[in-house]
Amino acid sequence: MAGTAERMASNQKQVAISEFFEKNKHFLGFDSLPRSLITAVKEAVDNSLDACEEARILPEIKIQITKLDGKKDIIELRSEDNGPGIPKKSIEKVFGQLLFGSRFHAIRQSRGQQGIGITGVVMYCQLTTGRKTHVRSKIATETSAAIVDIGLDTRKNKATKSGEGRELWELPDGTLKEHGLEITAQMKAKYQRGRQSVYQYLRMTSIVNPHADITFIDPDGETHHWPRVTERLPRKVESIKPHPHGIHLGTLQRMCTESTDSRMTVFLRNNFSGVSSRAAKELLAAAEIEEKAKPKLLKADHYRALLEAFQGERMLNNKPVKLLNPPTNCLSPIEELLIKKGLSKTIDSRYVTTMTRAPTVTQGNPYQVEVGLIFGDGMAADKPVEVLRFANRVPLMYQQGGCLLTKAIESVDWRQYGLDQAGGRGVPKGPAAILVHLASTNVQFTSEAKEALADNAEVIDEVRKALLEMGRGLRKHLEKKKKMAKTQDKFELVNDIIPAIAEKAAAILDRPVPNLSGSITRIMGAVISEATTVWNKETKQTDVTITLFNYTTRARSYTLLASWPERAGATMVKNEQGGRKEASGVWAWKLDTLEPGQTITFTYSLTGLERGDWTDTDLFYRGSQEVIGASKMDEKLLEEIRRQEAAANGEDEPADDEPVDDGEEAEPTAAQGSEINADPPAKTGQQTLMGFGGDE
């Protein structure tokens, strides 16, 4: 038996991480020929976008796919960008060593984190065609580009190189490329069209990266171009320290043993976010650890006690130690106006609404939810809505049914909001597309292929709240559209029939045609509002015109309110009617008297925006008579916006004992909506109106 044990022990060998993934390439998304191509494109594009944004360069990305052997399914992929490039000495590590990267230990939002992606592409190409991946890199400080063919020694997890050299990188116009990276890879893969295709991936990427210019040349030689719609780069993210709520016991133990801090209070303040001097002392008191104790000398019981204090299981004076939330400057949301522009450039429709929720925290990790909905013409009404899922600006193409984001969509009863849905469950049907984006420092995927998000009760609840709020906005839009259509039909009918009757009657009686304005007013019996929002290409401003018609027999008194993207950087000018600011992104005009048959017009312009940033102005009103085309102002929501605005400015914060109900039937109270505010705060969640007010 002893010999058997020794023989079995001698057969035990350590497997290199690269050798493991070589045999389990499906973990990385290389499980079928069509998906392998999408995965390769995805890894190249993600790296290009991350590099450009980190270097503060507006990305220009070109993808070209060429069929080399149709019978054997051999394809060549070429990816080119205008990023900062990679120094020659770093190319072999970036492309030829798994788990090599700069983002794994950084707690901040980024597309890639593990350092597997692009090396996985090199490995797959070598595995299926035996060919190395050709890399050309040009950095700004060098006159020529470095070239090298990279392979992977899977047993050693080390790059193999050949064909090293330098060359001038000449562009088609004859100029030399200043900086950038080009990857040329040959692999066994299959190009296909449809919902799961390279075209669809790049289209979705352009939606959530509106600052990128993307060109795609498909195997048939057809060029597809998604131009950038904004010159504004995403907000630069900062790395943050880990938060106590997200720490595991083994991690805490390692941090303590590696620490050089002289005492525990210093260790807690220096190594964690959300821990103030007061909190550090209280945590140690709850864990019964001396403040002067050295982190290196702690024992196993100390680690466990401190972790329990982190999680609130050990209390001080019968209360858990209160910790601050981690900072949210580690997140870079797309922002509502840019989501709207991204959706509008790829899907032609008349109604688009977007929303960015306030940042929040789960298990010590900051995250932020953004949603968008586009509704109307150009989409099939009898098919399921198009679901667009994203994590950290990266499209999720596969495993839709098992994804947290899809489950959140399916949990909403969309029948209340104008879409068809059998039994109130599942993906709804209708002429719409629903976008959901999760920005997080630690996106939890179901697998290494990063195609679906794992279940998390806090995140799914946050996504659901955003979808409910957006659904209420769609319902208000459809109701308002229906009322306006009925009123317009009635108005046209009255204006056609009444004058004709009056003319014939006057001719028969040989009398003059009477003034019909009073009669038309009595028949209509409604107050109507209209708002037009157009881009003025001469002044480079957005011009807004608001008109209020009183088609009733009584004088009316109103306060008319309009949304405007103040927090997106817009400034209101040429507002000759005056008025006053009610809250962030809400302007009001008071009308003491609007006589029967009277019409009043308000005009103003918005500066500081780009074309297409602001295309719809939502109207609200205060007054007893309903205004068709506007929503009754929700005063509770408006007050909540003011309170959170005051908190953001360092004034008195809202009391903790005044929660706002965010359930199915409540009006929106905890999110940012594109029709009013577009730039969510970095550290405080501010509410905004989202194209609707109180019950009509």
Contact 391, 435 (CB under 8 A): no
According to DSSP, residue 215 is labeled E
pLDDT of residue 408: 93
- Exposure of 489 by Cβ count < 10 A (0-12 exposed, 13-18 middle, 19+ buried)? exposed
More confident residue, 516 or 24: 516
Pairing of strands 223-226, 351-357: unpaired
pLDDT of residue 682: 35
Q: Read off φ and ψ for residue 69, nearest 5 degrees.
A: -145, 100
Query: In order of start, what are the domains of the chain with their CATH numbers?
Result: 17-226 (3.30.565.10), 244-310 (1.10.8.50), 348-476 (3.30.230.10), 517-673 (2.60.40.290)
pLDDT, tens digit, 9 for 90 and up, residues 629-683: 888 887 877 787 777 666 555 554 444 333 333 333 333 333 333 332 333 333 3
Secondary structure class of 537 (helix, strand, coil) = coil
pLDDT, tens digit, 9 for 90 and up, residues 516-555: 666 666 666 678 888 889 999 899 999 999 998 888 888 8
User: Which amino acid, residue 306?
Assistant: L
Average pLDDT over residues 587-593: 89
The answer to whether residue 396 scores a pLDDT higher than 60 is: yes
Assign 176 a pLDDT band (cuts: 50, 70, 90).
Answer: very high
Pairing of strands 133-138, 145-153: antiparallel
What the block records as the tokens of 611 is 């074309």
Q: Computed over its alpha carbons, how large is the radius of gyration of the chain?
A: 30
- Sheet of strand 599-607: strand arrangement: 571-573, 599-607, 541-551, 526-536, 627-628
pLDDT, tens digit, 9 for 90 and up, residues 180-203: 999 999 999 899 888 789 999 999
The answer to whether residue 585 scores a pLDDT higher than 60 is: yes
Count of CB atoms within 10 A of residue 362's CB?
Answer: 18
Distance CA 421, CA 407 (A): 14
pLDDT, tens digit, 9 for 90 and up, residues 556-566: 888 999 988 88
Helix-, strand-, coil-residue percentages of the chain, each rounded to 5: 30, 25, 45
Average pLDDT over residues 494-518: 76
- Exposure of 501 by Cβ count < 10 A (0-12 exposed, 13-18 middle, 19+ buried)? exposed
Pairing of strands 180-188, 133-138: antiparallel
The answer to whether residue 451 scores a pLDDT higher than 90 is: no
CA 215, 190, 98, 250 torsion: positive or negative?
positive
pLDDT of residue 397: 84
| Average pLDDT over the chain, rounded to an integer | 80
